[in-house]
Structure 1
Amino acid sequence: MITEIASFAQQHFPDLCRARPLDTHKGTFGTLGILAGGKNMVGAALLAARAALKQGTGRVHIGFSQENQPLEADPIQPELMLNTAGKLLGKDDITVWVAGCGMGLTPLAQNCLATLFNRYPNAPIVLDADALTLLSEHAFSLSHEKAPLVLTPHPSEAARLLGCTAADIQKDRQQAARQISAKYAAWTVLKGYQTVICTPASEITVNHSGNPGLSTAGTGDVLAGMIGACLAQGITAEQAIAGAVWLHGAAADYLVSQGIGPIGMTAGEVLEAARTVRNLITIQA
């Protein structure tokens, strides 16, 4: 199985398979900021951040969308740097942002998202979960001509973005993805069985990796962190977005091949397996 996975990745996502040069340091692989983790949803932020860290991002910051920082450190991954969203949004060295995982729909979350768009117009931004709902409900100023904006809705979130029903989305998933990309001048990752990736120019890719084990809480947070990680490492948007989606599914397939799942597979297991697969597909110099 690994031979097939590696062959596919090296053919379709060569940038994902590049070995790391010897003369690198943490600054080489980007700095990711994650705005997430509102009240009672700290786990969503930690899953996204741990996934990004395990995909090789140089530095990962979490800005919790709460007035007060709920944790001093992640006891599992103390390498993560924690703060409130308000304080993190004052930093000028973040190269890529992920926003929305368990972020909440509070006025604080809305203000954080508006600040993100206004203050970082030239940084790639990945929006997931609550950030998508906020985007559908409020008139934010979006100006991302110089950097990709990536939206990662499941069908219900896609329906909110387009003002229709989830059933409408599922009737023609490719057309729905095109409509979202056109409306927001963004990349769209319409999650679900055979995830649809659409570019801002309406070009469609359909992903075929993955299995029902991914139908569990937290796997979307993991995917958002992985997309952010690939972008932060300087992989082109074309390969970073579709490549992360493929790798996320390939990690779930790898777990099943090892007797883990699909029933009972967890998001935490997926992010660990994604690191394993990423290293297995890397072409050594």
Structure 2
Amino acid sequence: MKLSVAEQMRQMDRKAIETGIPDIVLMENASIKSFYKILEYYGEVNGALAVAFVGAGNNGGDALAISRHLYNNGASVFVYMLVEEDKLNPSPKTNFEIIKNMGIEYKLVENEDDFNEELVREADIIIDGIFGTGLSREVGGKFKKAIELINSSPAFVVAVDIPSGIRADTGEIMGVAVEADLTPTFALAKPGHFLYPGREYAGNVEVVDISTPRYVVDDFEPDFIAIDEQEIILTYRDATAHKGNFGHLAIVGGSKGKSGAVIMASKAALKMGVGLASAVIPESINTAFESSILEAMSYPIKDVDGFFSDEYIDKVLEFVADKTAICFGMGLGITESTKALTRAILQINKPLIIDADGLNCLSFFVDELKNRKAPTVLTPHPKEFSRLTGKPTKDVLADRLNIVKDFAKEYGVILVLKMADTLIATPDGKIYINTTGNQGLATGGSGDVLSGMIGAFLAEGYDTLQAAINGVYLHGLAADLAVEAGITYESLTPTDIIGFINEAINFLRS
């Protein structure tokens, strides 16, 4: 799903107008399509009380036009004008003239005391047309008061294009923001619809066509893409296929006390369809591994105190050299020996995914990533990414969009930043935002499962970016389906996620 930042959307609107479609026609189309979505989600509006909040931009004009459609379909409508008429753009001004001529009640709000709080609380439907996608400053004064009133009402809240107070390009809350039930958005969705915290405020996001010429949308090259079902590619197995057609994944990791990480990664890879999975593990955890999983092979390496040893690194490299792909780092531990092993693994010319302690070891010589020729996927959470970049975690979180983009470009990797809205950054500057998953994933081991899933796709021969997209989306989808089946967020375990991989694949194929 292509996403448009605010400036790109303005350019697309200009191109639409240049083709001969007047601005007011685009506005009318936006209002009609939004009205239909209200009927779809809210139901019959006859007899409902609708209150609209109107700002200066075209979103305000959209809200005025929606108010007209509600009124014509039997709703009682009251409009709060948060700006004076002479500050309206031409198209919103025309819609305001129509509102006045139709006799729809309105009030100019000059200060915070001009609202009737009881009226807002009694509303059945609220239309938020205060700010649009261009908001870039903190919300204050009567605008802040309006948003607070909207959020205090039990009404069904409809945000025009994007909830007021959300920055369209980043999902940031600019002081305060409308909590919407429905957000009809025009031509293309915006990053702020899918990036937290904006994602929590947007409710049901519906992209509606407002007659923007198709070629304008088709020719648009986005910097942001939301991962939905259309982004997923799953191949079908030929009837004559054999295990050798689906790759051999080497899963390298584990240490004393952390055998579970490699076990979960191996189980996830097998559930994801890899032909063969071999775990390269310290010898001291081999019994735990083999007693927990029957379908994977193990290649135990002599260890020291439960960790990989310098002395046997060559054995690891020799084993993985002819495998289709390598999944590395989960449960590895951080010692001088595991750092040396990480450095050596970088030299293997095979598709590689690095996770967990593999990333922590990598942080000591991250520049060596630049020497890799084969595809590389990194899957850090914010703290691990902080170590890779040398930036404090709070700075990573504050500017993650730019930091992940710059890192992926500089090091030529596919970077998966694991968060509630997991980001996938590519070397060519694109950022993919995942749309599946839930808070049940916030538990140790979820990342090991994800690594195994992505590793399986790499071993099966998928394009590197597609492997990451497939793995991230299906991982989240499996968690969502598990919760739908009755597993609570608190009770969801990584093993549950593995158990629902099959359901996730079935869901997509159906």
1:249 aligned to which of 437, 461, 476: 476
Deviations 1:59-112 (A, max 9, x none): 111111x3x342245323212111235434212421101111010111221222
1:102 aligned to which of 319, 331, 340: 331
The alignment status of 1:89 with 2:305, answered yes or no, reads no
Cα pair distance change 1:45/1:109, threshold 3 Å: same
> Which secondary structure state, in structure 1, belongs to the residue aligned with residue 236 of structure 2?
coil
> 2:414 touches 2:464 (CA, 8 Å); kept in 1?
no
The alignment status of 1:173 with 2:392, answered yes or no, reads no
The alignment status of 1:164 with 2:391, answered yes or no, reads yes
> 2:255 touches 2:285 (CA, 8 Å); kept in 1?
no
Report what 2:351 is aligned to. 124
Larger RCO, structures 1/2 (Cα 8 Å, 6+ apart)? 1
Given the two structures, how large is their TM-score scaled by the length of structure 2?
0.51
Deviations 1:92-135 (A, max 9, x none): 421101111010111221222222122x22x1100111111111
Deviations 1:185-210 (A, max 9, x none): 21100011100100122211111100
Report what 1:271 is aligned to. 498
Report what 1:235 is aligned to. 462
Structure 1 portions without partners, runs of 5+: 1-7
In structure 2, distance between residues paired with 1:161 and 1:280: 36
In structure 1, distance between residues paired with 2:491 and 2:366: 40
> Which secondary structure state, in structure 1, belongs to the residue aligned with residue 277 of structure 2?
strand
In structure 2, distance between residues paired with 1:154 and 1:236: 23
Report what 1:148 is aligned to. 375
Number of paired residues?
A: 268
2:430 aligned to which of 171, 195, 203: 203
> 1:56 touches 1:229 (CA, 8 Å); kept in 2?
yes
The alignment status of 1:136 with 2:360, answered yes or no, reads no
Which piece of structure 1 moves more, 210-219 or 166-175?
166-175
The alignment status of 1:40 with 2:251, answered yes or no, reads no
Cα pair distance change 1:144/1:282, threshold 3 Å: farther
In structure 2, distance between residues paired with 1:191 and 1:172: 15
> 2:268 touches 2:498 (CA, 8 Å); kept in 1?
yes
In structure 1, distance between residues paired with 2:336 and 2:239: 46
Cα pair distance change 1:139/1:244, threshold 3 Å: closer
> Which secondary structure state, in structure 1, belongs to the residue aligned with residue 474 of structure 2?
helix
Report what 1:12 is aligned to. 231
Structure 2 portions without partners, runs of 5+: 1-227, 302-312
> 1:198 touches 1:204 (CA, 8 Å); kept in 2?
yes
Report what 1:185 is aligned to. 412
Given the two structures, how large is their TM-score scaled by the length of structure 1?
0.89
User: After superposition, where does 1:60-75 map in structure 2 within 5 Å?
Assistant: 60-64=277-281, 66=282, 68-72=283-287, 73-75=289-291
Runs ≥4 residues deviating over 6 A:
none
**TM superposition shift of 1:263:** 1.6
**TM superposition shift of 1:267:** 0.4
> 1:173 touches 1:196 (CA, 8 Å); kept in 2?
no
Specify the structure having the higher radius of gyration (Cα).
2
